[in-house]
Amino acid sequence: MANIPPLKTIDDLYIFTRGGTVIDVQKGMKITTTSTTSGGGGYVHPTYGGSISAPSTTTTHTSHEVTTLFIRDVDGDEFNAEFTDSCVPVRTGNRVSVVFAGNKSVKQGYRAALVNHDTGKQGVITEVGGWLVDRPSGGEGCGLFLLALMLGPVAGFLLSFLLSPLLGGGEDALLKFMLICTIATIAALFLLFRPYMRRAGIAGNLKTAIVQRVREEARRVGNT
The model's pLDDT over 122-165, given as tens digits with 9 standing for 90+, comes to 999 999 999 999 876 667 777 777 777 787 777 777 776 676 66
Measured distance CA(82)–CA(99) in Å, rounded: 12
On the question of pLDDT at 47 being above 90, the answer is no
- pLDDT of 185 higher than 90: no
Nearest to 70 by CA among 31, 27, 35: 27
Residue 25 pLDDT more than 90?
yes
CA distance 48 to 12: 67
Percent of the chain with pLDDT over 90: 45
Task: Using alpha carbons, list the distances in angstroms from residue 37 to 33, 142, 160.
Answer: 13, 20, 43
Q: Indicate the pLDDT class of residue 85, thresholds 50, 70 and 90.
A: confident
The pLDDT tens digits of the residues spanning 90-101 come to 999 999 999 999
pLDDT for res 165: 65
pLDDT, residue 170, reads 57
pLDDT confidence bin for 182, thresholds 50/70/90: confident
Q: What's the half-sphere exposure (Cβ side, CA atoms, 13 Å) at 101?
A: 30
DSSP-derived secondary structure letter, 103 = E
CB atoms inside a 10 Å sphere around CB 203: 18
Whole-model pTM above 0.75?
no
Half-sphere exposure of 59 (CA within 13 A, CB side): 4
| Confidence band of 86 (pLDDT split at 50, 70, 90) | confident
Res 112 pLDDT > 60: yes
